[in-house]
Structure formats: C-alpha cells, structure tokens
Amino acid sequence: MIIRRDFVNKLLEDRKDNLRVISGIGTSTWDLMSTGDEKNNFGFIGAMGQALPFALGLSIAQPDKKIVLITGDGDTLMSLGSLATIANHPVSNLTVIVLDNESYVETGSQPTATAGKTNLELIAKGSGIENTYTIFERTDDYKVLKTIYEEDGPSLVVVKCKAESTPLIFPHSFDGVTAINRFKDTM
Amino acid sequence: MEKFSKDWRNDIYDVFKNIGISLVSHIPDAGHTPLIDLCEKDNNIDVVTLTTEEEGVGLSCGAWAGGKKSALLMQSSGVGNCINALALPNICRIPFLTIVSMRGEWGEFIPWQVPMGLGTPKVLEAMDVKIFRVDYKDEVGETVNAAANFAFNTRKSAAVLLSQKMIGAKQFKNG
C-alpha cells in the first residue's frame, strides 16, 4: 500500500528546474508543502474543483515547463468535466497525479465514489486522455517520473494509496496574493 | 481605442487584440457565436471549449499565473455555475474577465432562463465581481475595454453584461 506523503516526497526529491507543481485542496496541499518551502509550487487551500482547470491554463501558458498537478480523488471527482476539456485541448506538458485514497480523509474519512464502483483511470481514458494508468506499489515510482519528464501528455496517473490522516503542513502563507505572486515570479 | 465599428462582436475582438488576450474559453451562447468564430480564426488566440463555465475561472487564473491574458465567454445561466470558483481570483487577486450574454431579462421566451437571468448581477456582486453593463451596441467596445483595463490593471474580477435588449431576444417556434 502506497503512503501518499512518502510517494510525493520521493517524486519531488530531485526535481528539475523546469517543473512547476500545483496541488489540489486538502491533504494534497499538505503533502506538497511537506516536500519543502519551494517557490515552484502552488497549493490550493480552497476553490475545490478548480485545480484541474488551473493546471490546464498554466500548461497552455507555459508550454516549455513541465506542469504536475497533485490532487485527490475528491477534488478530481468534482471536476470530471475538466478531464474531457484537457483531453480535447491537449497539452503535452501536463501530468495529473491523483492520490486516490477512496475517502475524504480531512473531514472524517467518508468514502468517495472511488471506494464504490467508480474508476478514475477509466473515466480519464473515456474522457480521451490516452496516457493514463494506475499504480498500486512504490516499485512503480520510476514510471511516474518518466511520465512527468519524458512522455508526451496530457497524462493522468491514479496512485492508489492508504487512507490515513497525516500531519497538516501549512504553506509559507495562507494569503493567496502572496502565494500566487511568488509562484508567478518563477515563470 | 478611439473608434469602434458597427458590429459589436468585432469591437470585442478588437479589444481582445489590443490588450493582448490570447486565450478565450467558453460555453457557447448564440450571442457570442460570431465572436467565438473570430477568435477561432485567429492563430494567436487559443480557444478552449469548456464542459461547465466554472472551469473557465480556473483556466483563466492558471493562464494568468503563466503570463497569459484570457477571457471567459458565457451566458447568464453559466454565472451561477461559477460562484465558488470565483473565490480563486478573489483571494489571489488574479485578474479575471468574463463577457456574459444576458438571458431572461428582456423579451425572454423561455421561462427557465428567468431565474438565473435575474440572479446574475446579484451573484456577481456577492462574489465581489465588478459589473459593466452595456445596453447599446455602440458602447460595447468601450465598455469591454474599460472592464478589461479594470481587471488587468487593478487585479480584480470584472464582468461585462451584454443586455438581452441589445443582443435581441431569441424567439422560438413550436413545430
């Protein structure tokens, strides 16, 4: 079983300068912030469902950067339509990583649709995102790195991970203006 | 921006070009169709068809973070879909520009258009979006220009409401 925080830290351990990482609301942002106070990251703390279209807009505007969105199954389920938008306005530099723990851990671990019959990889595929797969074990970490840096996107990787609450690691500022200005300055 | 032509959709397009908008997203509305066509013919404007209007808010914000100016085109009914998404440009002070074609306010045929048509200004005001209403064709260009400057110069959200009186109410015929 994949421990999401360990996975995210390993994924971003030797990150390249051309990488920009967005995280979706909730635990994904605490996961991203646990990798360090990094100007090349921007974490959502609200506006649930907006991280996917934000990542698409950024990918269109910055075609020479590698854009990674790290988000959860809950956030992704709220913006399934964006998978179709991404597929039909393809951006080769975008990788979406869904940390799928099948639950809304932040609010008391209520099950999401992926705990039931819903499969996000199949939805992504059906939406038209061709490069999509699911990993269940850390032995597949290297595949995800290859997808981010070497393969043509858009790509979507479902990372099946353990549902557990983890310590909250806050960003350097909760102020949106401070956060976006710092991130924008890296472009 | 001194002179504006007679076709108000062309006027909007000219403003887009003047201020450097290079990404336009939309859920199509008949009122916007000629403008969407103009943007699609322009190799320097990326046009993204959305699945729901709220996507256009996040898309615009991400594009701005990457150095690209954009605009969201939608019908008034789509404004309701955007409410929570508007928290993003609000809290991050990201310039956000939308051009809304109004329904449900002047000679409307379809009653289902009325609730969101009436709700549109209230919803936008509730989310701190500055409204620029335009009722006359010869004021479209200057109004969109003013709204765009407001958005991009002051890093706030701006919505141009194109009144149904100006666009012309669509009449439907059964059979």
pLDDT in tens, B58-96: 999 999 999 999 999 999 999 999 999 999 999 999 999
With cut-offs at 50, 70 and 90, classify the pLDDT of residue B5: low
Asked whether the whole model's pTM tops 0.90, one would answer yes
pLDDT in tens, A3-57: 999 999 999 999 999 999 999 998 999 999 999 999 999 999 999 999 999 999 9
Q: Which fold has domain A4-181?
A: Rossmann fold (3.40.50)
CA distance A126 to chain B (A): 15
Contact of A177 with chain B, judged by CB distance below 8 Å, is answered with yes
Is a pLDDT exceeding 50 seen at residue B2?
Answer: no
Contact of A53 with chain B, judged by CB distance below 8 Å, is answered with yes
What's the per-residue H, E or C state across chain A?
CECHHHHHHHHCCCCCCCEEEEECCCHHHHHHHCCCCCCCEEECCCCCCCHHHHHHHHHHHCCCCEEEEEEEHHHHHHCHHHHHHHHHCCCCCEEEEEEECCEEHHHCCEECHHHCCCCHHHHHHHHCCCEEEEECCHHHHHHHHHHHHCCCCCEEEEEEECCCCCCCCCCCCCCHHHHHHHHHCCC
Contact of B50 with chain A, judged by CB distance below 8 Å, is answered with yes
Is a pLDDT exceeding 80 seen at residue B103?
Answer: yes
- Architecture of the domain made up of B8-167: 3-Layer(aba) Sandwich (3.40)
For chain B, domain boundaries:
8-167
Cis peptide before A154 (omega within 30 of 0): yes
Is a pLDDT exceeding 80 seen at residue B169?
Answer: no
For chain A, domain boundaries:
4-181
Please determine, for the modelled complex, whether the ipTM score is greater than 0.85: yes
> What pLDDT score was predicted for residue A171?
92
Tell me the CA end-to-end span of chain A in Å, nearest whole number: 36
From the list B49, B67, B88, the residue facing A47 with the nearest CB is B88
Rounded CA gap, B13 and B21, in Å? Answer: 9
Is a pLDDT exceeding 70 seen at residue B4?
Answer: no
pLDDT in tens, A146-178: 999 999 999 999 999 999 888 999 998 999 999
> What pLDDT score was predicted for residue A116?
97
Q: Is there a contact between B46 and A58 if contact means CB atoms under 8 Å apart?
A: no
Contact of A51 with chain B, judged by CB distance below 8 Å, is answered with yes
Rounded CA gap, B153 and B20, in Å? Answer: 13
